Amino acid sequence: IYVLGNTKNELGGSEFYRLMNEIGLNVPKVDMDANRRLYETHHEAVRQGLLRSSHGVYLGGLGVHLALVSVAGDLGASVDLRKLAAEGVDQDYQALYSESAGRFIVTVSPENQAAFENVMDSQQYALVGQVTSDQRLCIQGLSGDLIVNEAVDDLRRAYHSTFDQEVNAILDSDKYQAATLPQNFSWVRPTRTRKPKVAVLTGYGINCDGETQHAFNLAGALAERVHMNELINRIRLLEDYQLLFVPGGFSYGDELGAGTGLANKIYSHMKDALLDFLDAGNLMGGHCNGAQVMVKLGIIPGKDEYGLPLMTLTKNDSNRYEDRWVYIQETGDKCIWTKGIGRMLVPVAHGEGKFYSKDEGIYQRLLDAGQVAVRYVMPDGSPAGENFPYNPNGSHLDIGGVCNESGTVFSMMPHPERALYNVNLPTRPVGSPVARKVDEGLPVNAGIQIFQNAVNYAELKLI
C-alpha cells in the first residue's frame, strides 16, 4: 500500500474539525504544478498496468479513505503512519484526518513494486503498509503504538449506521408516505415518415449516451452518438440535426463542479454555433449531468444569460450522492418536453442536484414565466414541500426541471431514459403483464413520453 503525495497539517475546514465544532485556519493549499506532475506520473503507472487499485484521498482524510478501501475490497490493511511522506505533522489525528489535496492510496502487486517505484522516482510517495487477508484495518501511530485495530465488518456497519439513523427518522415522521405502485402505461410505437435527427453528445465522462440514444430511437427519431470533438472540429455539423441532447454521466469527473468543465468547453469552442442552432428553433435537452452543463452554460433560464449563469446546481442538502426513485409532476404546459406526462416515477442519481440561485428574484421569474417544468412530489401527488427523500436534493420550490422561455430548451435532474420499460421500475406496475412471449417487445413505461414529445415537435419542423 502506497500513499502518493505529501501530507501536511491541513485540517482547516475539514470533516474532522467539523465534528469537533472547529473551523481552523490551516486550510489545504493546492500546488497545481506539483499536483499535475503527480497526476501525470500516476497516469503513467496506470498506463503501464502497475496498479492493482487507486483511490483519491479527500473529504475525511487518509484514515477515512483507508477504511473506505478496506470496506470496498473486503480486505484488511496494515499501515504505519511513521512511513508517511509528511510535513509539519506530529500528531496522529493530523496524519489521519488532514485533507491535503492531490493524494492517492494505491496498491501494487509485489512483482510490480520495483517498476512502480522506478516510475514514481521523481515524486513524493511512501510505502506505508500491506494488504492483509484477515479483514482488519490496523494502523500504527507516529509513536509506533497500534492506534486503530478494527474489523472491516465493524467499519462497514459504522458507515451504514448514519444512513440508518436518517431513514428511521423519516419513517417515524408524520410526513412519511409509502411509495405507491405505478399504474400500467399504454403506448403505441409511432410510425414516422420523417425521422428527426438527434445528436446525443458523448465524450469526456458522459456515460448515459447509449440509453439516451435508445430512448430517442424508440420514440421514432434517428439518434446518433456524437463526440464533442467531432462538433468542435466540424467533422459533424450541429446544423444537420434538429435536436441536441446532453446525457448524464460525470463529465470531467465533476472535478471542477458537476457540469462545469464541459460547459466551459462548449462555451469556449461552440458559443456561436450553439446560439445559431437554438435561434433556428431547434431543441436542446439535458438530464442530470447534462442539466448541470446547461444551467452552468447560462442557457437556462434564458439565452440572454448565455455564459453568465444566474442559477446553478449545487450539492444536495444530504451532502451525499443520492441514488433513489422519486416522483415528478409536470407543471404547466410551456415546456414542449413535459406536456402531458402527469405524475411519473423516475430514478435520480446525483450529488449536486439542488437548483439554486442567490437571487431570490430568479425563482419568481421562473414561476411567472411558467419555466418550472417539473417538480418533485409525494407519492400521492401532493407537493414534496422540500422534504427528503421525496425532494432528493433540497431544491427550493421542489424544482426538478426547468425550461427556457419558449419551452424548447429543457434541463432536468432525474433520468427518464432509465425508466423506459416496466422491467426498469422498482415495482411492477398495476395491471402490467407478468411475463411476455419471446417475440414480443418489452412493455414500455412512461419515461418514453418525454422523448416522444421532443421528437413529435422536431418532426413538425421537417414537414
- Is the pLDDT at 116 greater than 90, yes or no? yes
What mean pLDDT comes out for the span 376-395? 93
Per-residue pLDDT, 355:
94
Residue 361 CA to residue 358 CA, distance in Å, equals 9
Per-residue pLDDT, 435:
45
Given a contact cutoff of 8 angstroms between Cβ atoms, the answer to whether 308 and 337 are in contact is: no
For residue 116, the number of C-alpha atoms closer than 13 Å in the C-beta half-sphere is 23
Residue 58 CA to residue 54 CA, distance in Å, equals 13
Residue 187 CA to residue 181 CA, distance in Å, equals 18
DSSP H helical ranges for 79-151:
92-97, 113-119
Give yes or no: 288 in active site: yes
Q: C-alpha dihedral over 58, 62, 64, 67, to 10 degrees?
A: 130
Q: Using DSSP bridges, classify how beta strands 76-80 and 136-140 pair: parallel, antiparallel or unpaired.
A: parallel
pLDDT tens-place string over residues 215-264? 999 999 999 999 999 999 999 999 999 999 999 999 988 877 888 999 99
- Is the pLDDT at 439 greater than 60, yes or no? no
Pick the catalytic residue from 99, 335, 415, 459: 415
State what percent of residues in the chain have pLDDT above 90: 75
Helix axes 61-73, 152-172, angle to 10 degrees: 100
Per-residue pLDDT, 253:
86
- Is the pLDDT at 316 greater than 50, yes or no? yes
Strand ranges (DSSP E) for 187-274? 197-202, 222-227, 243-246
- Is the pLDDT at 167 greater than 70, yes or no? no
Residue 260: Cβ-neighbour burial (10 angstroms; 0-12, 13-18, 19+): buried
Q: Using DSSP bridges, classify how beta strands 86-87 and 409-412 pair: parallel, antiparallel or unpaired.
A: unpaired
Residue 313 CA to residue 308 CA, distance in Å, equals 14
Per-residue pLDDT, 438:
43
- Position 114, amino acid: A
Which contiguous run of DSSP H or E holds residue 402?
strand 399-403
What mean pLDDT comes out for the span 109-132? 97
- Is the pLDDT at 202 greater than 50, yes or no? yes
- Position 342, amino acid: G
Label residue 289 by pLDDT band (50, 70, 90).
very high
What mean pLDDT comes out for the span 141-168? 88
Per-residue pLDDT, 189:
80
Pick the catalytic residue from 288, 322, 350, 459: 288
Paired with 249 in beta bridges are: 206
Please give the model's pTM, rounded to 2 decimal places.
0.69
Which contiguous run of DSSP H or E holds residue 322?
strand 322-330
Label residue 303 by pLDDT band (50, 70, 90).
low
Residue-averaged pLDDT of the chain: 90
Per-residue pLDDT, 423:
77
* 131, 221, 231 from 74: Cα distances, Å: 11, 45, 44
Helix axes 448-460, 209-218, angle to 10 degrees: 60
Q: Using DSSP bridges, classify how beta strands 243-246 and 197-202 pair: parallel, antiparallel or unpaired.
A: parallel
Identify the structural domains of the chain with CATH numbers, from first to last. 2-153 (3.90.650.10), 197-460 (3.40.50.880)
Residue 310 CA to residue 297 CA, distance in Å, equals 10
Residue 153 CA to residue 223 CA, distance in Å, equals 47
For residue 373, the number of C-alpha atoms closer than 13 Å in the C-beta half-sphere is 31
Residue 383 CA to residue 405 CA, distance in Å, equals 24
Per-residue pLDDT, 309:
81
Q: Which residue has the higher pLDDT, 258 or 179?
A: 258
Does a cis peptide bond (omega within 30 degrees of 0) precede residue 389? yes
- 322's grid cell: 443520492
pLDDT tens-place string over residues 400-438? 999 999 999 999 999 999 998 887 887 765 565 554 544
- 342's grid cell: 402527469
What mean pLDDT comes out for the span 47-71? 96
pLDDT tens-place string over residues 321-377? 999 999 999 998 899 999 999 999 999 999 999 999 989 899 999 999 999 999 999
Q: Which residue has the higher pLDDT, 182 or 156?
A: 156
- 241's grid cell: 440535426
- Is the pLDDT at 171 greater than 90, yes or no? no
